[in-house]
Amino acid sequence: MKKDLNYVAGMEKAISKRYGEEAIQNPKSTWDQEKEKEYIQQLEKRIEKLRETEEESEKIEINGFLMPKKLLNREVVNNCTTCGKKLKTVRDDIYMNKYDCCESCFIEHIDGREQRWLDGWRPNQGENE
CA separation for the pair 2, 4 (Å, rounded): 6
Range of the domain at 62: 33-69
Whether the Cβ atoms of residue 106 and residue 114 lie closer than 8 Å to each other: no
Work out the average pLDDT over 89-107.
86
Model confidence at 82, in pLDDT bands (50, 70, 90)?
Answer: confident
Domain count, the chain: 2
- Predicted confidence at residue 18, as pLDDT, reads 94
Pair (63, 84) in one structural domain: no
- Predicted confidence at residue 42, as pLDDT, reads 95
What are the residues facing 79 on neighbouring strands? 86
pLDDT, tens digit (0-9, with 9 covering 90-100), for 22-77: 888 888 888 899 999 999 999 999 999 988 887 777 777 777 777 776 666 555 55
In a domain, 119, yes or no: yes
In a domain, 88, yes or no: yes
Whether the Cβ atoms of residue 128 and residue 122 lie closer than 8 Å to each other: no
CA separation for the pair 75, 67 (Å, rounded): 12
Pair (117, 84) in one structural domain: yes
Work out the average pLDDT over 1-29.
88
In a domain, 108, yes or no: yes
Least reliable range by pLDDT among 1-5, 22-26, 125-129: 125-129
Burial level of 93, CB count in 10 A (0-12/13-18/19+)?
middle
Pair (45, 61) in one structural domain: yes
In a domain, 25, yes or no: no
In a domain, 20, yes or no: no
Pair (87, 54) in one structural domain: no
- Predicted confidence at residue 129, as pLDDT, reads 46
Whether the Cβ atoms of residue 56 and residue 69 lie closer than 8 Å to each other: yes
